[in-house]
């Protein structure tokens, strides 16, 4: 007889490495890319993701050892700034996250930054983490 529901769910459980929660994101494609890499003998190569978003696939491939290097980019300035900050200023970003209270006033400030990205340059990742991770967008 076939596997029961609990066994199937256990096997299907996905691990999410991204700090962002995107409904309908690309994380569910990770298994496809892992199989593609293994079936084509591409292990330990470089994975390039031009529309990174939460970078779920890239992180999964890197953390689980399918590739040795990832290159990510995104056209959205918020996403670019967030990943730039995670990689180059992690302590500063963590301090902002830890010290900023979740208030309506702070929500309005971060929402304004999100709406007016062009005037803030490329270092404004906090608004994205504040709004996205806390699902206040």
Handedness of CA 130, 124, 97, 105 (dihedral sign): negative
Cα 137 versus chain centre, distance = 16
Look at residue 85 and tell me whether its pLDDT is greater than 80: yes
Mean pLDDT in residue range 53-63: 93
| pLDDT (tens digit per residue) in 22-37 | 655 787 889 999 999 9
| Mean pLDDT, rounded, of the chain | 79
Mean pLDDT in residue range 43-67: 94
Q: What is the pTM of this model?
A: 0.73
Contact between 98 and 129 under an 8 Å Cβ cutoff? The reply is no
Place of tokens 């304004």: 112
pLDDT grade for 90, boundaries at 50, 70 and 90: confident
Look at residue 84 and tell me whether its pLDDT is greater than 80: yes
Give start and end residues of each alpha helix (H) in the chain.
5-12, 30-39, 56-63, 77-88, 90-99, 104-115, 125-133
Q: Which residue has the higher pLDDT, 44 or 126?
A: 44
In angstroms, the CA 47 to CA 30 distance is 12
**Distance (Å) of CA 66 to CA 53, 54, 92, 114:** 20, 18, 30, 34
In angstroms, the CA 37 to CA 51 distance is 19
| pLDDT (tens digit per residue) in 94-129 | 888 888 888 888 888 878 877 877 776 655 556 556
Cα angle: 57, vertex 114, 49; to 5 degrees: 20
């Amino acid at each position: 007889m076939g596997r029961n529901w609990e066994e199937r769910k256990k096997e299907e459980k996905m691990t999410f490495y991204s700090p962002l929660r995107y409904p309908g994101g690309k994380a569910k494609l990770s298994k496809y890319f892992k199989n593609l890499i293994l079936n084509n003998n591409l292990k330990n190569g470089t994975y390039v993701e031009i529309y990174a978003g939460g970078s779920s696939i890239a992180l999964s491939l890197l953390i689980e050892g399918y590739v040795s290097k990832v290159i990510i980019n995104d056209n959205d300035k918020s996403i670019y700034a967030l990943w730039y900050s995670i990689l180059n200023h992690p302590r500063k970003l963590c301090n902002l996250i830890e010290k900023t209270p979740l208030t309506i006033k702070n929500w309005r400030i971060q929402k304004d930054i999100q709406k007016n990205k062009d005037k803030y340059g490329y270092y404004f990742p906090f608004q994205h983490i504040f709004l996205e991770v806390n699902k206040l967008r």
